[in-house]
C-alpha cells in the first residue's frame, strides 16, 4: 500500500489484471460454443445428433423409437410426424424439453435417426439435452442388439 492508504500498491495492479484475464478466459470457455456457432459450450440449450442403424426404415424403426421413448418416460408423439415430437422432463426440476426424432431411410435395411432436444426455459441446460440424446442412442443400440 502507498503512504496515502487508498491507492493499491504497484504489485496489486498486475494481480487485478490477471484476475480480469482469468475471468474472461473462463467466460469464453463456458460460452465457447455459443460464440463460435456450435452447441459445444455450456451456454447452450439445444443439442442435435444423427446416427445410422441397421434397421428397416418403416415399421421396425418407428417401433424402436416408440419403445425407447416410453422407456425414457417421454410423452407423445404428437401426431404422425415427421418428425416425431415428444416432451421430456428434466429429473431434478421437471422442466419440459422438446425432443424431435426424424427417421430417414438410407437403404432398404438401414435408417438414419436424427434427434434434436431443446430446452423450453433458460439459456443453458448444462449438457442435459446432449446426455439425453446419447442415452436415447445407447438404448436404441441395446434394443437392436436383442
| 102: its cell numbers | 426424424
Ramachandran region, residue 89 (left: φ > 0; alpha: ψ -120 to 50; beta: rest): beta
Q: Output the CATH code of domain 46-145.
A: 3.30.530.20
> How far is the C-alpha of 133 from the C-alpha of 88, rounded, in Å?
11
Q: In what order do the strands lie in the sheet with 46-53?
A: 46-53, 111-119, 96-105, 84-89
Is the distance from CB of 119 to CB of 106 less than 8 angstroms? no
> How far is the C-alpha of 66 from the C-alpha of 60, rounded, in Å?
10
Domain ranges of the chain: 1-42, 46-145
How many Cβ atoms are within 10 Å of 115's Cβ, its own excluded? 24
Residue by residue, pLDDT tens for the chain (146 residues) are 445 556 666 555 667 777 877 777 666 655 554 444 444 455 678 999 999 999 988 888 999 999 999 999 999 877 666 789 999 998 888 889 999 999 999 999 999 999 999 998 887 778 889 999 999 999 999 999 98
Can you give the pTM of this predicted structure? 0.69
Reference 51, options 118, 145, 141; nearest CA is 141
Amino acid at each position: 500500500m502507498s503512504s496515502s492508504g487508498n491507492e493499491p500498491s504497484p504489485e496489486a495492479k498486475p494481480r487485478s489484471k490477471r484476475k480480469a484475464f482469468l475471468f474472461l478466459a473462463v467466460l469464453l470457455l463456458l460460452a465457447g460454443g455459443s460464440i463460435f456457432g456450435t452447441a459445444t459450450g455450456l451456454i447452450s440449450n439445444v443439442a442435435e445428433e444423427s446416427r445410422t442403424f441397421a434397421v428397416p426404415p418403416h415399421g421396425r424403426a418407428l417401433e424402436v423409437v416408440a419403445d425407447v421413448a416410453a422407456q425414457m418416460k417421454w410423452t407423445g408423439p404428437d401426431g404422425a410426424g415427421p418428425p416425431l415430437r415428444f416432451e421430456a422432463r428434466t429429473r431434478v426440476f421437471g422442466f419440459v424439453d422438446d425432443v424431435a426424432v426424424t427417421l430417414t431411410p438410407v437403404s432398404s435395411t438401414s435408417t438414419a435417426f436424427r434427434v434434436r432436444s431443446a430446452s423450453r426455459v433458460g439459456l443453458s441446460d448444462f449438457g442435459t439435452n446432449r446426455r439425453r440424446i446419447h442415452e436415447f442412442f445407447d438404448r436404441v443400440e441395446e434394443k437392436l442388439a436383442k
